[in-house]
Amino acid sequence: MDQQFSNKRFGTIPVFFTAISTILGAILFLRFGFAVGTLGFWGTFLIIIFGHMITIPTAFALSEIATNKRVEGGGEYFIISRSFGLNIGATIGIALYLSQAISVAFYIIAFTEAFEFIFKFFADSLNINLPRQVISIPSMLVLGFVILRKGANMGVKLLYIVVGVLFVSLLFFFIGKTEFSEINGYSIPAGNIRDMKDFFMVFAIVFPAFTGLTAGVGLSGDLKNPARSIPRGTITATIIGMLVYFAVIYKLTISVSAEDMLANQLIMSKIAFLGVFIIPLGLAASTLSSAIGSVMVAPRTLQALAHDSSFPSKKLNRWLSMGRKSDNEPVNASLITVIIALIFVALGSVNAVAEIISMFFLVTYGSLCLISFLNHFGSSPSYRPSFRSKWYFSLLGFLVAIFAMFRINAPYAIASLILMTLIYSYINAYHREREGLESLFANALFQMNRNIQVYLQRTANNKKARDWRPSAICISKDSFARVRAFQLLNWISYRYGFGTYLHRIDGYYSKATRIQATEELSKLIETYDTTNNHVYVDTLISPSYTSALAQAIQIPGISGMENNMVILEYDKEKPENLQEIIENTGLIKAGNFDICLLASSRKDINFRNDIHIWIDTRYPENSSLLILLSFIISGHPDWRKSNIKIFETCRHENYEETRAGLTELVRTGRLPITEKNIEIIKEEAGLTLKNLINEKSSTAALTMIGIDIQVLKRKGESVLTGYDGIGTILFINSHSQKDII
């Protein structure tokens, strides 16, 4: 414990210096002149504002999250992984690490631009065109050696030096004078804006300047008090960086012409006092400081990823997560980072990669803002940061980050998202046990659901829906013996309806039955965990079937609308609980519910066969529900190859009238039932309805029959039996007639 505490050795200043040295980096010296020359002062002013519409909300979001829970090693990765879950966190973390590692190469290559006079001397005097690698590779090797040998302590000490040089170079830049400023004065013309069609092209070039704000967060594992140092260092660096940007573009605008800015990438050297010497020195200091910041941060991200077993090899995770015994310095992760940086330095240019780097940084920033927004929206009692941002800042940062990705380079944005999807799929394949997005979205979904439910309840009395849809409850204690009831509820709930499946547990509520209910609910969820499951599953403990029904029909519907249908199920071949079901139909009818009695057959359902509906003109309310429910069930993918077939019996003299009426009902109701699938059967002496059904529906996948509850209570089980020639049957009793519109 003492050793671990001693490793927490940094305060706020290293966070600030790491961030500000990256913010005031290569882009400031090499590309801001180009930006002002292209867009003018006010165009570049808008670039800075637009960039900080991402960075300031991100800085606030980071500060907020960091003061809510202790941030350990890994900085941004730690925050994202502990909010989005380890699998998604690792996906973003790997992309973030690669961006940080390649950024080291980017800054080292930019560092060589400070030695332009050497390359010019060899080219002009000796006619030798030296490759940039003559300086960039040795510089990378020296930097790598220092970091591997001395670690972050030496890196922070170097930062103090280079930030000091950077400060002096900027000071000399601001006190410099030019003939242009003496002639034209120090005011900015109101119309100093041009070529706004190139706005996002210029933004793409200068955006890496904005990616430094989170650099200091990567030191989180080495901070004495991350909750204090991260907000102070990050926000201060972001605000000061923005003010320096404004000052630099103002100085450029009043000091030189747009043509000169476009012609010379080191135009600052023409403005600064002793600029020929001080600006290359400042460029060297800024790029070197950015490289130092990145080479300190990237290994810590990689080490944190390995600590969380983000890679498929246990040996690799163990090796990468190892720290030096004396100071826990991630030497192995640093070695990999230096090797990756060397590879890109050797290539000589990372211009094409720079936009991909920007994509990954934008994904990271957008993720941080989204985490903050969801935590605000979710209103979890455990979210109590001492620094609080505003939800609309966080939402703005997220939306602008996504917008910027596609405006900078849409193909790269899509490629980045595809790459991250592939990485996530791979990680998820060998870490299936880890939590995913639901851990973060749960509170937000709870709040959204609550608000919707309250709204629907408040407006229910004032607004009556014209169209009917089922909101069904199914109660069964045979969930693990038969699946037909759950299947039926899932068919109903797939597209048009809503369903709640209640697994009944006999007994009084106690610790033992509660534990049983929890275990059996987990088993049910696992059993029915498929992409085609649209049913809410729960358990119900009750000492009797009647009390279970009384409880169930009083619970609110999960959709926000009242439940209007109850589904009860029994074994068609061994109807042991059928009498109990019949005795309780009166209780259900008292609540004005539609009733579905499912007689589950042990015969397999052949979904290629048809759904048969038997209509009785004496019960028009049943007929309308039979037709609508068959249409709803047929919307499930299981039934995509089946048809609905309607049967109705009538007297000889009523045949044409009955057919015409039923055909018109199907046509005006726009139901997917062809006229050839409507069969009107003339009644004949000695031919019972049950015999007809057994004959006509012997091959049906599902047979649906209307029943009268009063007749059922009077005649008992005989109403539902005698259908031995057919498979699964759904008996229907409708509370009221449904409009088929």
The predicted pLDDT at position 455 comes to 67
The more confidently predicted of residues 383 and 31 is 31
The predicted pLDDT at position 633 comes to 92
CA distance 69 to 239: 24
The more confidently predicted of residues 21 and 219 is 21
What does the angle CA 475 – CA 477 – CA 479 come to, to the nearest 5 degrees? 90
pLDDT above 80: residue 666: no
Contact 688, 649 (CB under 8 A): no
The more confidently predicted of residues 515 and 9 is 515
The predicted pLDDT at position 3 comes to 39
Helix, strand, or coil (residue 586): helix
Average pLDDT for residues 73-94, to the nearest whole number?
Answer: 76
Q: How large a percentage of the chain has pLDDT more than 90?
A: 20
716 - beta bridge partners? none
Residue (of 208, 181, 204, 550) closest to 361 by Cα position:
208
The predicted pLDDT at position 412 comes to 82
CA distance 234 to 674: 68
Mean pLDDT computed over every residue of the chain: 82
Instruction: Output the CA–CA distances (angstroms, integers) from residue 608 to 267, 632, 740, in the order listed.
Output: 76, 17, 26
Residue (of 645, 740, 654, 661) closest to 702 by Cα position:
645
Average pLDDT for residues 565-589, to the nearest whole number?
Answer: 91
Q: Kindly report, as residue ranges, where domains of CATH 3.40.50.12370 are found in the chain.
A: 465-733
The more confidently predicted of residues 618 and 580 is 580
Contact 224, 7 (CB under 8 A): no
Average pLDDT for residues 326-341, to the nearest whole number?
Answer: 83
Contact 87, 427 (CB under 8 A): yes
What pTM was estimated for this model as a whole?
0.63
- Indicate the range of 335-339, 349-353, 399-403, 635-639 predicted with least confidence: 349-353
Please give the full DSSP string across 84-137, using - where no structure is assigned: H-HHHHHHHHHHHHHHHHHHHHHHHHHHGGGGHHHHHHHHHHS-----THHHHH
pLDDT above 60: residue 699: yes
The predicted pLDDT at position 46 comes to 93
pLDDT above 90: residue 488: yes
pLDDT above 90: residue 225: no
For 603-617, the pLDDT digits (tens) are: 889 998 999 999 887
**Residue 434 CB burial class (10 angstroms; 0-12, 13-18, ≥19):** middle
The predicted pLDDT at position 437 comes to 56
Q: Where are the beta strands (DSSP E) in 628-691?
A: 644-650, 678-682
H/E element, 476:
strand 471-476
pLDDT above 70: residue 354: no
Q: Kindly report, as residue ranges, where domains of CATH 1.20.1740.10 are found in the chain.
A: 2-430
The predicted pLDDT at position 1 comes to 35
CA distance 141 to 143: 5
CATH architecture of 2-430: Up-down Bundle (1.20)
Residue (of 211, 303, 228) closest to 13 by Cα position:
228
Residue (of 9, 283, 320, 305) closest to 155 by Cα position:
9
State the pLDDT confidence band at 662, using cuts at 50, 70 and 90.
Answer: confident
Q: Which CATH class is domain 465-733?
A: alpha beta
pLDDT above 70: residue 454: no
The more confidently predicted of residues 439 and 633 is 633
- Indicate the range of 4-18, 241-255, 334-348 predicted with least confidence: 4-18
594 - beta bridge partners? 565
CA distance 77 to 381: 24
The predicted pLDDT at position 423 comes to 83
Instruction: Output the CA–CA distances (angstroms, integers) from residue 197 to 194, 202, 258, 324, 527, in the order listed.
Output: 9, 10, 17, 52, 56
Contact 701, 610 (CB under 8 A): yes
Instruction: Output the CA–CA distances (angstroms, integers) from residue 696 to 119, 600, 692, 717, in the order listed.
Output: 93, 19, 6, 22
Average pLDDT for residues 300-315, to the nearest whole number?
Answer: 86
